[in-house]
Each structure stands twice: as C-alpha cells, then as structure tokens.
Structure 1
Amino acid sequence: MGLQIESWDNYTFRDLLIKVKFGESIEDLQTCRLLLRQYIPTGLSVDPYELASLQERNITEAMMVSENFNIEAPNYLSKESEVLIYARQDSQCIDCFQAFLPVHYRYHRPHSKDGETFIVVNNPELLMYCDQEFPILKCWAQSEVTAPCALNSKDICQWNNMKYKSVYKNVTLQVPVGLTIHTSLVCSVTLLITILCSTLILVAVFKYGHFSL
C-alpha cells in the first residue's frame, strides 16, 4: 500500500492532493472507508468556510478538528491544526483512493536577507475502517483511533491506523516573504497611497454628495 502527495501553485494557495493505492489485491474494497488525519503546520491554514462550500458542491469531505482556530493569525501567532479528510475511491482505479484539501499561506515575519521561507507538511496518518474483516489489513494495522464514521455523522467508529509506504517523505512548500530592508519604502508608499485615496474620496463626497440639515 502506497501513498502519494501532490501539490501545485495557484498564487496564494495550494491544493494538497493525496492518493492512496493498495499494493495488495483486496476483494470487496467497496466496504472500506479511508480517513486521513492531516496536521497543518503553523505556516499554513485551512479555511473552514471554504471546506463547507466544497462539501456543498460535493468536491471534498473534510472537517476541522482544532478548536478556536484563527485563520487570520500570522505564522508566529498560530498553532498547528488538525484536519480529517474522508478519502473517496478513484473511479479510474479499482484499488485507489484520493483526497483533496486546499491550504493557504499565513503571513510570515520579514527576513533580513533571504526573501523566502520553507514549510514542511508531514505525511498524514492513514486510518481505515471496513464493514468486514480482512486478514491482510490486520497485518498493516498499528493501532486503533476513534473518529466519526462519516462527515457530519454523530456515530463513532474505531479506525485502524495503517502502516504505509510513502512515495515522498514530506511535502516542502516554498513561501515568499518580505525583506526588512524594504520596511521604510513600503511604509512610505502605503502612507502616500492612503492619503491620496482618502483625499479623492473626500473630494468626491463634497462634490457629488447631498447634504441636508
């Protein structure tokens, strides 16, 4: 059984695509469910409102486990978060599952020299639950984990935490960050633009606004 993680750029966010392929032939795999417990490092965030929208459109099934999660917090004020992703069987591969999770960059402190930083996304835990027993799966199981049987379900199942061979050790994301030497320039330009825009707004209000006493 192998696991493959892929990701691709889309400006400020990336999509984490996780693929699982069973190396052994297992009959009636349709009776099994696969759950991925992914830990999101402090340099990234997951938008719970975006997850809800994707669920409504039947694109992915994922839920935030971490409480008091602040999507606006910068990297240095955030904590590692936990997401449960319910994988789906691949229609083009009889013994394959795949899961999809959009992630976003958090704000990072500017650096003095290097204009980039790296974020390591560790491989997820692979949890599996089957309606019937398969002897070969017991060989792969390490322990049992309690988790909801399905998304938005109150039923709790005992999932098997499975051993697997990963195609990639970990996923490393390269994130551009600001430089401290640009602080004065950025502040000056920002202040000038703010004053200019405020002035234009005031001129428009006094020119086209209607005032009554």
Structure 2
Amino acid sequence: MYLSLFAVLACLSSCHGSFVEDEKKENHCDVLKQLLESSAVAVELRKNGFHRELVTSVELSPDDLRWVRVLLVHRWPRGVYVDPYQLASLSDHRDWQILINSAIDLELPAHKTSGFITYVYPAPDGPTPRLIKVTIPIHTRYHEPSFDGEAFTAVEIEPPKLLLRAEKCTQLHSFEPHTVVEAPCTHKNLSTCAWLQLPHQQDQGSVSVQVPVGDESLVIPVCAGTLLVTMICCVGLSKYMWTHRIV
C-alpha cells in the first residue's frame, strides 16, 4: 500500500514539474513575442572629427526581462574602425561586452580594408534592463584623394541588428515569419545559439560621417612645390656650410 502511494506521489510530482517547466517555456516565448512586436532601436553620433562615438539605444517594452538575452550585431563599413586596445582599456567602465569577428589593422587607409562585424552583449552578467544604451568609440580612416574636387566623402553607418533569445524558449520555428539566425552565445565565442532577429523598422535610418579627403588635382603642384622647397633648402644649407667651413 505504501509503495503504491509513493508511486502515485512520484508520478504527480513528475507531472507537476513537467507542467511547471512547460509553463516557464511558454512564458519565455510570450515575452519574446512581445519584444518582437514593440522593441525599438535608434542610433546617433556624438563628437566631431576623426574620433566619434556611436550611441545605440534599445527600448524593450515588457517589464519582466529576467530570461531575455540581447545581442546587437553591427556591420561596419570599411571607412571606420574600432580600436580593440581602446575597448579593452575601457572594459572596467562599461556594462556591455564586445566580440569582433576579425583582426583590425589600425593603420590601413579605407580603400585597403574591408568591413567587419561586432557582436555587442548588453548586461551579459545581469538582468537585461528595459532601456539599453551602448556607446562605442569609433574612428574614421583616411580615404583616397577625390578626383572631382569634393572636399568630403560620406561614410554611412547602418543601425545594428537586434537579436533576442530566451533560455527556455527553444521552439523558434513557431515565430515565423521572423528570421532565426545563428550567432555566438556570449562574447567568449565558445559556441553558437539560435537568435530571433527583430524586423527592420522604417524609422531606423543610418547615420552619416563626413570625412575630409584630399584633392587629386593638386598632386602635381604639391609634389613640384615640395621638390622645389627641398632643393632651395639644400642649396641654402650647403652654402651656409661652405661659408662657415663646416665639415
């Protein structure tokens, strides 16, 4: 009799645990659905010159975000770069982590480089806040001289893609037509996870950086002037050394 009672209690406990687990999964998926429908991403540029800051703001509507992980995927054009050494020095003063998909040469001009991707993880070790703000220092590269006399060239920076996932929500195919993409689970890049991508919003416009460039039509005058000044200086220096018998 006691054995039968124990078996019944064990079965009820198992069923209750399974029910609770299913309910958690459903709650996690419900939160993701709300986020896909109401979240917003905005970007803005701060500072001037060759050294700027790109500020990304993300607003998430549900109040309970304990299970939600957020990932911002930036596809950077070749006209700008981020400095890995600078980011490492600032790691103790920010609440986000970043993963860069390739090595970055800080010295190359824009026409000799290619774009790259960064994965930004806001609040990786804590609960996700409703309002996320990530400030990334960026730097513009030197460009080729202009052939048409233009003094500036524009570098367009697109807003990042917003990816979301929840630990307990694994049936992502049920979120069609939303896109499911594979991306690193964390900034340590040890494994990949399935993420839901927020649909592109019409008001998410790119931001433009105006970079000064040289004038190709002035190459010959500049080279000729440089050569002439160099020759005059050499003649003057030689005359001075001959006059003062400097050997």
TM-score using structure 1 length: 0.73
- Equivalent residue number for residue 210 of structure 1: none
State the number of aligned residues. Answer: 187
Task: Give the secondary structure class of the aligned counterpart of 2:178.
Answer: strand
Structure 2 counterparts to residues 54-69 of structure 1, below 5 A: 54-58=90-94, 60-66=96-102, 68-69=103-104
Which moves more between the two structures, 8-17 or 38-47? 8-17
What do the CA deviations read for 1:37-82 (whole angstroms, capped 9, x no partner)?
101101111111112222243354212112x432221111110111
Asked whether the equivalents of residues 123 and 169 of structure 1 are also in contact (C-alpha less than 8 Å), the reply is yes
- CA-based RMSD: 3.2
CA contact (8 A) 1:3 1:164 kept: no
Match of residue 41, structure 1, among 64, 77, 85: 77
Q: Deviations over 1:113-157 (max 9, x none)?
A: 11100011122211112234499xx75872222333222262533
SS of the residue 1:174 aligns to: strand
State the alpha-carbon separation in 2 of the partners of residues 62 and 86 from structure 1.
6
Cα distance in 2, alignment partners of residues 80 and 151 from structure 1 = 19
Cα shift at 1:97: 1.8
1:32 alignment counterpart: 68
Range that drifts further, 2-11 or 31-40: 2-11
Alpha-carbon spacing, 1:192–1:58, altered in 2? closer, same or farther (3 Å): farther
Contact 1:61–1:85 (Cα < 8 Å) also in 2: yes
Partner residue in 1 for 2:160: 124
1:50-129 matches, cutoff 5 A? 50-58=86-94, 60-66=96-102, 68-88=103-123, 95-112=130-147, 113-129=149-165
**Contact 1:111–1:179 under 8 Å retained in 2:** yes
Structure 1 unaligned residues grouped into runs of 5+: 197-213
Q: Give the helix-richer structure, 1 or 2.
A: 2
Letter in 2 for 1:105: T
Distance 1:141 1:124, change over 3 A: farther
**Amino acid paired to 2:141:** R
- Tell me the distance in 1 between the aligned counterparts of 2:209 and 2:160: 16
| 1:86 alignment partner, SS class | strand
Q: 1:82 to 1:179 in 2, by over 3 A?
A: same
8 Å CA contact 1:5–1:167 kept in 2: the answer is no
| Structure 2 residue corresponding to 1:178, chosen from 186, 201, 214 | 214
Which whole-Å CA distance do the structure 1 matches of 2:227 and 2:140 have between them? 22
Identical-pair percentage: 27
Are the counterparts in 1 of residues 63 and 130 from structure 2 also a CA contact under 8 Å?
no
Higher strand share: 1
SS, match of residue 165 in structure 1: coil
Q: Is the 8 A contact 1:144 1:158 kept in 2?
A: yes
The two structures have a TM-score, normalised by structure 2, of 0.64
SS in 1 for 2:66: helix
For structure 2, list consecutive stretches of 5 or more residues without a partner in the other structure.
1-38, 234-247
1:12 partner letter: F
Distance 1:169 1:191, change over 3 A: farther
Q: Which amino acid aligns with 1:106?
A: R
